[in-house]
Chains A and B, each alone.
Chain A
């Protein structure tokens, strides 16, 4: 009985999201807040293959948006379009109202990017890496300021002056976060940031993301971690073969429902 009910719930839910997506993909968005990340008919084709098909997506300041989908669904392509590493075949991506294609250097001022594995210079310490990357972004911080960014990102004090070569994946991820904090990024792009992290590190990571969002940062996170997505995100999108097929308000769905929806979608 319970199971049938659940299924019924699910179908009701699915119908709703699809309708929502077609009529207005931003139906769960708080329209009083400023648009930070915006994709308009964003398309990327490689020969015959459509890696990204007319994606429309807007993410507010302070909002966390999780992108789910199989490998090759177009999550990373979306992020790379926002980063300006890929030239879209059609449509546009803009950050804080500035088009990425037209002003790639301008848009990078608002951006921070944390890949699956944050790669740093192994010969430099955490603090030296942070100093180098912040200086490149045009900031000059004192040592104690840099140290406080690292602490804020959750990196233990003892590691600040150690060579990054000896860091664990989670520690490097934290330096990546510190780089984003130091840059005062308005938008954070994350590509499977928690994959390979232990549950504790993963949980800490979510905490920090929430904190950043509370301070107004817009977060776009591609992930495979359905439970993490449900827990940390405000909205969740599911992608399939280059299309954003559903957008769900995270509050309105349980993790189990989300998983089912995911499995049915992809």
Chain B
């Protein structure tokens, strides 16, 4: 393969398309659409970041300013954890708008993360969800196919292909050269949005706090480049193989429909049927049933907690819990919290595992479907995938557990055993203890973790890129000059 020939052919593709005013219009419209998506996504991101920052401060301030009171009352007063947006989330919204943003954290109870954008919006979200990622993954391929479908087929129909081949151009050179030209056209849409995206990223103060945003952006660019290259070569291959340019267009549109609309939906349904997940009510009931089996910390006659009591009385050689050197009900609650949190975690882990299995069915279709690979990878790198959300849930639950146990420890340590109710004067501790609890800070997944989660998508893109060279070499054997 000669570089000079590749350059000549790709340049010819570029110049002949650019001469056409409809091409310029399309490039302009796509760039406009992308800029709009990037700016509106960015505005929304900044808005969210400011909201989270503002309310996080307020939650903390209110927590620290609670008056002196019984620590368990504080445990029920609770805390609110807010989900932070990853600085790149303006590029690809992913699941961001459909998962909750805030969760109320209190003792004994694992609440659902609430207030997703979708649950709060009036339906306009259906129109508003145009992210740069979506345009690049879904619409740009359509444009690549539209530009590329006739690039070989038309020359064959027209007769220039025969002269081209007689001039000593090999099929490999022709296909790769045309693909590179088509790829360059795709870049005329991708590159400006990358530049704008990068500028927006630099301007975001949260990006400098999370330097991995830049590294993630770099890999995001590489992934999209691979995706567009794969699609360009595929379009040209189909054009070269097809009997006519018309049939090439039909096949490509068919592929597009199948791979972007049908296959993802079908694989999703298959995943859900192969690995059924419980509904929210079912899940809560299961957790509760297991908790009841284990014991009820609020019931003094519960066998589990009675055994605990008896062993404590023997160990401290006393005949009543009132004579223990620490607050007994705090001790029981600490034990109860530990049990319930473990049970919840176990169930939650199982649920997440089921979700993971469902998603893996979809993920594995990436080996058939490069769209799936880029979709998952783009979401993961933008920090808007399910793993990022799940990680937030785990962090919030860990914090909740820590909060409840910190309050229990305070109760065990500072509250006397003789107090009757939490309203009792002796049952109140100083508000200065409240600040012992560290603030909640949502941390983002590490880059390595993201790569681990998306290893299938990454391998699939690499396999596709390398596989194309084999595919080109294989299919040229049966190509026709006329």
Contact = CB atoms under 8 A, between A and B. Distances in A.
Looking at chain B, what size class is its interface with the partner chain? 20 to 34
B159 interface: yes
Interface stretch (B33-41, B165-173, B241-249): B165-173
A216 interface: no
A85 B479 CA distance: 9
Most interface-central of A111, A121, A136, A179 (chain B CB within 10 A)? A136
Interface string A143-181: 000000000000000000000000000000000100100
Contacts of A133: 163-164, 167
Interface string A176-199: 100100010000000000000000
A119 B160 contact: yes
A137 interface: yes
A194 B386 CA distance: 69
Given A119-B158, A132-B8, A136-B8, A183 B16 contact: no
B19 interface: yes
A183 B163 CA distance: 12
B5 interface: yes
B218 interface: no
Interface string B86-127: 000000000000000000000000000000000000000000
B162 interface: yes
A115 B167 contact: no
A83 B160 contact: no
Contacts of A176: 163
B167 A183 contact: yes
A113 B163 contact: yes
B168 A118 contact: no
A19 to B, nearest CB: 37
B226 interface: no
Interface string A117-143: 111110110000000111111100000
B458 interface: no
Contacts of A135: 4, 8
A50 interface: no
Given A132-B12, A136-B5, A136-B8, A85 B164 contact: no
B159 A137 contact: no
Contacts of B162: 83, 85, 113, 115, 119
Looking at chain A, what size class is its interface with the partner chain? 20 to 34
A85 B19 contact: no
Given A85-B481, A85-B482, A136 B169 contact: yes
Contacts of B160: 119-121
A228 interface: no
Contact of B163 (A105, A109, A123, A179): A179
Most interface-central of B9, B16, B166, B482 (chain A CB within 10 A)? B166
Contact of B159 (A83, A108, A112, A117): A117
Contacts of B480: 85
B12 A108 contact: no
A121 B160 CA distance: 7
Nearest to A136: B167
A133 B169 CA distance: 10
A118 B162 CA distance: 10
The 4 closest A-B pairs by CB, nearest first: A119-B159, A136-B167, A85-B481, A108-B168
Given A119-B158, A119-B159, A119-B163, 10 more contacts: A85-B162, A105-B170, A109-B168, A119-B160, A119-B162, A120-B160, A124-B16, A133-B167, A138-B4, A179-B167
24 contacts: A83-B162, A85-B165, A85-B481, A85-B482, A105-B168, A105-B170, A108-B168, A109-B168, A112-B166, A113-B162, A113-B163, A113-B166, A115-B162, A117-B159, A119-B162, A119-B163, A121-B12, A123-B16, A133-B167, A134-B167, A136-B5, A138-B168, A179-B167, A183-B167
